[in-house]
Chain A
């Protein structure tokens, strides 16, 4: 399904769209307030960008260094070329420990690899423990945002879900009560877990350690109670030295939610005595993205979600309309790299306003990469006939000023004189869901010339 079609489904509930739009804009606002209070914020962003760019330019070296140090720390390191291999590795570790009940904290990578269904097929119970992720798991939906997975759900919907699955009392969607019930429910799961899976925010080459950031404390409750901890990471999570955490931890939470840092920034290095710790390092298309000079900077992403919160298209189309694990502006650069045909409409789901690039804490040129994908896509994938024909026509019109002037006159007259049913007819996609303005009598060109004359 194209992005615009999927977005139109989300747009059938206007009230919800407005709420979604405002809620995310509020998060963007909190980000602004928080970053404006940081002296040298732009310096910090440049550092984030520079450190990531350097790391990618020496990625094989840092991965090897990280591996060697992690092994020294008593951690078992595994490598997965793709999603399937990742799932097989995780499954075999769990199997070896005869693990049946698994708790997982937020990890976009395991979403990307579709780990849950893979493990469930072998009868394992896998519980997402981040509250937002648990909500969408109960609803049998994918997350719609990388930081706020259940942002598309109303509190009343959560209330109903919890009544059905957790046996809670109807509460009119009281967040305090519902969170309390989720805490009790998930405590039980933590207590009985045979293994814990977490993601990785940063992996540090010079120590072999890794950092996991959460607000809820779910990664720690899982990892410190279960006898086995499996941490899954993409190859781009590497940073060279621990001191650079000072840069990235300062950037991450402020950009994500406006908090000065996440509640917990847990630095794992060695397993608890008697327990096992595993790290699975995954490629799954990342080295290919690294080969594309125009798009490799997309691998700098630290998954803060700021580009989504600020995007006028994302806010009004919802995360599910992107039909990809990572939605929004950054997802629209990453997804075509994996499957150009399936995701060919995503780079067009943007106004190219550039707001995403402005807020990105690691200075990814998101909107120019979107533009570059468009160039490739219009060449390589078939475009709808109407779009192609009208683009061609406009190209001709723009190239001849006299013709442009004539067409403009007709358009202005039409907007003033034709009935709405004609103006908003089907071929005019700009008339869909909106009224076009009344055409002015005079073109800008005429107005400008007359103005000069009158001076």
Chain B
């Protein structure tokens, strides 16, 4: 017979799992998602642009007559510290990520250009993940964020976004919708809380 003293004390893990098992109701079915009920026939590009603007960002078309780097430089004439992950950045990049000892040194980054592989029309969000982010803090620590997105990579809803993401192994990823913001002081919207103060999506 096992006496109370010899009985091993249950760990919290076992305790929680056994209580969850004992206290849960009979198994309920998982609902099936039928994405067709959400279809609203909106034009993807129009909706995406509208939503990015609603959340405080800008949408511009990439100029065919110049490089993205000269186009962005003109948008931020006062910027001193710039970085782009795109090929051919050359002189545009004033910092070398390899030379950084820690990500904190990016504190004064003015303008960052990244490429996104996915945009969502219903909420103006763009996806960034480890594949496009050599250092995770980059899109948060920069003052101004510019994201290049191909028009054909815009999907209508999050429901269409996740199957695309499921095929990729993302160690870290983020949907970003507009610049950072807060309304914590008397509900007045202020753009520029801890993250980027402006966000521009360049469509190509």
Contacts and interface: CB of A to CB of B under 8 A. Distances in A.
Interface of A: 23, 26-27, 38-40, 43-44, 46-47, 50-51, 53-54, 56-60, 63-64, 73, 79-81, 85, 129-132, 135, 148-151, 153-155, 158, 173, 175-176, 178-180, 182-183, 186-187, 190-191, 215-218, 220-221, 224-225, 235, 240, 242-243, 245-247, 249-250, 257, 259-270, 272, 281, 283, 287-288, 290-291, 293, 296
Contacts of B174: 220, 264-267
A290 to B, nearest CB: 4
Given A221-B195, A250-B122, 14 more contacts: A50-B31, A54-B28, A54-B29, A129-B194, A151-B187, A154-B186, A191-B107, A235-B20, A242-B166, A247-B159, A264-B195, A287-B23, A290-B19, A293-B25
A60 B17 contact: yes
Contacts of B25: 56-57, 293, 296
Given A51-B31, A264-B176, A270-B171, A175 B23 contact: no
How big is the B interface, by class? 35 or more
Binding site of A, secondary structure by majority: helix, strand, loop or mixed?
Answer: helix
30 contacts: A38-B122, A39-B38, A43-B37, A50-B30, A50-B31, A59-B20, A60-B24, A63-B20, A81-B15, A129-B194, A130-B184, A135-B184, A148-B184, A153-B185, A155-B186, A175-B188, A179-B185, A191-B104, A216-B182, A217-B140, A220-B195, A221-B140, A221-B195, A250-B122, A260-B124, A263-B180, A264-B180, A265-B125, A270-B172, A283-B12
A59 B22 CA distance: 10
A267 B40 contact: no
A257 B184 CA distance: 12
A191 B140 CA distance: 13
Contact of B16 (A43, A44, A283): A283
Interface centre among B15, B18, B21, B161 (most CB of A within 10 A): B21
A217 B193 CA distance: 7
Complex A-B, nearest 8 residue pairs according to Cβ-Cβ distance, in ascending order: A217-B195, A216-B193, A50-B31, A260-B123, A132-B184, A291-B23, A287-B19, A224-B137
Nearest to A257: B183
A57 B27 contact: yes
Contact of A40 (B38, B103, B163): B38
A242 B137 contact: no
Contact of B103 (A53, A153, A224, A261): A224
Given A50-B31, A260-B51, A269-B171, A27 B187 contact: yes
Interface of B: 11-13, 15-31, 33-34, 37-40, 51, 54-55, 103-104, 107, 120, 122-125, 129, 135-137, 140-141, 157-159, 161-163, 165-166, 170-188, 190, 192-196
B12 to A, nearest CB: 4
B33 A47 contact: yes
Contact of B193 (A57, A155, A183, A296): A183
B10 to A, nearest CB: 9
A261 B28 contact: no
A287 B158 contact: no
Given A179-B182, A262-B177, A267-B173, A224 B194 contact: no
Nearest to B26: A57
A371 to B, nearest CB: 21
B105 to A, nearest CB: 10
Given A242-B162, A261-B123, A287-B16, A175 B186 contact: yes
Contacts of A266: 172-174
A276 B195 CA distance: 23
B181 A215 contact: yes
Nearest to B57: A263
B16 A246 contact: no
Contacts of A287: 16, 19-20, 23
B181 A263 contact: yes
B39 A39 contact: yes
Nearest to B139: A220
A79 B19 CA distance: 13
A81 to B, nearest CB: 4
A150 B171 contact: no
A269 B170 contact: yes
B181 A64 contact: no
Contacts of B135: 224
A243 B162 contact: yes
Contacts of A56: 24-25
Contacts of B40: 39
A66 B85 CA distance: 33
Given A51-B31, A221-B195, A268 B172 contact: yes
Nearest to A37: B40
Contacts of A63: 16-17, 20
A235 B137 CA distance: 28
A178 B179 CA distance: 18
A85 B172 contact: no
A29 to B, nearest CB: 12
A248 B180 CA distance: 21
A342 B55 CA distance: 42
Contacts of A27: 187
A150 B183 CA distance: 10
B125 A131 contact: no
B16 A235 contact: yes
Contact of A260 (B34, B140, B177): B177
A28 to B, nearest CB: 12
A220 B158 contact: no
